Structure 1
Amino acid sequence: MNIILKSNVFELQFRYRPMIVGKIKQIEGRKYDSVRKIWTVPVSKRIELERLAYQIRQFEPVTWGTGDQHVAARQEEDVAYELPELKALDRPHGLKIAPYPYQLEGIQRGLELKRFMNTDEPGLGKTLQSIATINLANAFPCLVICPSSLKINWEREWHKFTDKKAMVLSDNVRDTWPFFWQTGMYQVFIVNYESLKKYFVQRIKKAEGWTLRDVEFRQTINLFKSVIIDESHRCKSSSTQQAKFSKGICKGKEYIIELTGTPVVNKPKDLVPQLSILERMDDFGGYKSFVDRYCAGPNEASNLKELNFKLWTNCMFRREKSLVLKDLPDKVRQVLTCEITNRKEYKDAENDLISYLQKYKDADDEKIARAMKGEVMVRINILRQVAARGKVKEVIEFVKDFRENGQKIILFCSLHEVVDQLKMHFPTAVSVTGRDSSDEKQAAVDAFQNNPKVDIIICSIKAAGVGLTLTASSNVAFVEFPWTYADCCQCEDRAHRIGQKNAVTIYYFLGKSTIDGKIYRIIQTKKNIANAVTGSTEAIEENIVDMIANIFNSNDDEEDNDDL
């Protein structure tokens, strides 16, 4: 596609593709010139146009220019760049579960490149591929740098997929973590961006205006043979601490893996710090050559088709859901375990529930026990609500990272307080809750389905769990979740229905060491609970109360993260 700036409009020239036309039609003010057979988009809609260009770039290379540059753009369009074909893995994958074919190809490509970016679309298993790559390369110890909200998930994924032991760094092991590697107890260490200085920086020689040269790192960083950087677009600015520290830590490592669905957030220059961390700038002729060749013009973007080819050739690959659907199930579920921010409040509520459960268990009068069930259910729900409030901070961090990928997401929750906190942080989000009128609900659905700018819809499980069509997104996240498997499926199916062109990825947020894990396990082990009970509220409560009582009484804190 050539995008040419002419006066107050952009002219779009491209080979006809229904999917591209469909996306253009979502941009307000677009027009089709049937004589010249081109589309025009107002200059004021440049952001929407840039988002479209990013979404289609893998199968439709995009060039930008002014009216004087369209000849050069056409010349680049005429150059045939053949992207390298990913090969099947040439050895056993070594994981506890079998990856999909496209994931095996990603693992193989990672082993070939060693220092690279996996920019697969969210939901395609970048975590699994990077873990398998490091595991097969035996590049330990491995450091994982990730957002705070994903630390526990990374720990669980290492344990789920391999026999390696992973540790989330904390103040308790600030100085002693190398001992755990040296004694063979742990092979993987996980840290969030904000804590890089705490664990790996000895001192910074300047108080202000410091560069990487002014950073004195601890010698322990030399232990790492590999580094995985999750959501690496957080390092898109070389002036940030996380970019400087990440580059210093990664220097000289044999394996460096960057994971991001959005390597370019604004313009090609976003790639420079990320490529620098990978020690790949020489593959593009160095900084000056990169900027002159790929960051020219009024939009600071040029020769993008060539850039895409060089990235694929040297250090990058990307697949989208629509291109690997044959490998994917209709639904992909993932559990994200997160820390809660109100641990004391939660422990008080949990102790209150446990105390009451003991009274319920000891009640020898059947009528009294039956009457107590309702109160037990109330206290269980209070505990779930406390856990939900404690998860909001990390959910917000997850959504911030997620929306940078230019994709829409559906959030399910129950508490009005949780809805309000999410809307406060994401003012452009729309909602469907019990407090909204029918007209307001429909307006929210219409906006989410048809307006590219509306990328978050916050749904009440009761108000939006059935009937609605939300196929504008293939991503669903549960901040809170229903009691039964059937109800979970009903919510998931707002996106997984006729009109959905992608596999649907579903994220379940569980508070670490909370009742969330216990309820989730009940749902897993009792998938047919909706059919097993009579359908009355009392029957469901009776079943749940007894199961919760048994789990608490057994003091079993194990949290299973298998798919539903």
Structure 2
Amino acid sequence: MTYTLLQHQEEGVGFLTGNAAGLLAFEQGLGKTLVAIDAFRRLLDGGTADRLLVVCPNSLKRNWLAELRKFAPFLSVDIAEGPPKKRREIFRESKARVVVTSYETARAETTSLIALCQRQRTILVLDESHAAKNWRSQTSAAMRTVAPHANRRWLLSGTPVTNTATDLHTQVNILEPGKSPLGSEEAFRAQLEFDPHAKFAQATFDRLILRRTKEQCLDLPEKSYVDVRVELPDWQRRAYNQMRDEMIAEIRDLSGQEYRAYAATALSKLTRLIQLASNPALIFPDLDKQPAKFETLDGLIGDILSVPGRKVILWSNYIRTIESLLVRIPGAVAIYGATPNTERQEIARRFQEDADTRVLIANPAAAGTGFTFTAASFTIYESLSWRYDHYAQSQDRNHRIGQTEPVTYMRLLAADTIEEAVVIALERKSALARGLLGDEGADASVAQLSQAEMCELLANNRLPEREVADHTTMVLS
């Protein structure tokens, strides 16, 4: 097909083709995949590159295949997956111009990736490159090992900073292996103590990172947010209050040393409260009662679909809830962890194009990246997690290029529960994210709460104000 790049996409192509290494930090929905494909095409046509090696989350392999068929059908593509013998054979013998594989495979087949890079002039692309941000992770180690053998290194991520400034330190080292332009990780962390916004590293970031936001590049319809507070029925309220009160009593009885150990696992304990507020069957599988949110969803979805042509995305974090809602909502389709990767693109296409497919139920971890759902102008969050990156990326599935209608986001919140604190945390991070890159989750901040603050959070659903300052962020110009 023929296509015309938008101005920011042309800038992105120029940035990638003009540099041996770069991080394309376009916000979700601005076309990072298309930019990388077009940049490779131009280098291939110019005789300065032979092969594109794409490493991406497992859920995005088929998305890359679909985008390549759409924008560059003349490029041959192999997906390296399956049993070890099969994928090693692909790495060893593939003649395809593009080889796509997952981070999981890359970790296991580092030697094969190195050999592939050494055979031809290869461009290494790390899609959702924040997956390699943790210096001590196997993924990061594998990518740092492969990177020196590629002729060019392109990283793609709309949220390259998902925890702290050190996330960029790791990715910069992948971009420029052996050069350590930001010094050692220890030295970098030490400098952040005095300059938490990493201004000392700004020149390096400006050279290696191209950041663009939707506000800068697109004239998209407005977004609006509606919080729907759901009153819990007596049985669900009693169960929630009992678990909450038991947690508070347990925390108050801990010694200082015992609490420090407890705080390190606090997020999983708080998640159980969130599950109880959302769908108690997640904790009590034999429960035969209807959670309050299900009745509320019946009314909301009925109202939305009463207008012909409307479609809605329903996000949930929990497999059992998704499967219950699939039974409850006639004609709904779903993309979540149990959906085979080979079927996800077809489900997304059906939701986009089939007028009779009007409800998509999805999990942000499975469908929050790599998909376009602009057929929907309504989005409902049945449940929320502390993960800001999942929240932001899921919103961008339908507020992106191709959306012509104002988009409404509805968040179902169980009244007087921990979910109110989750929303406060997400709103703080969202405010920071305008011009900044926000925090991944509550792991660090929750673990830093004192015993009194943890009890206050549980009892009154309030985070301390100092929680805002606990997140290190930086400006990407």
What TM-score results when the alignment is normalised by the length of structure 1?
0.41
Structure 2 length as normaliser, TM-score?
A: 0.47
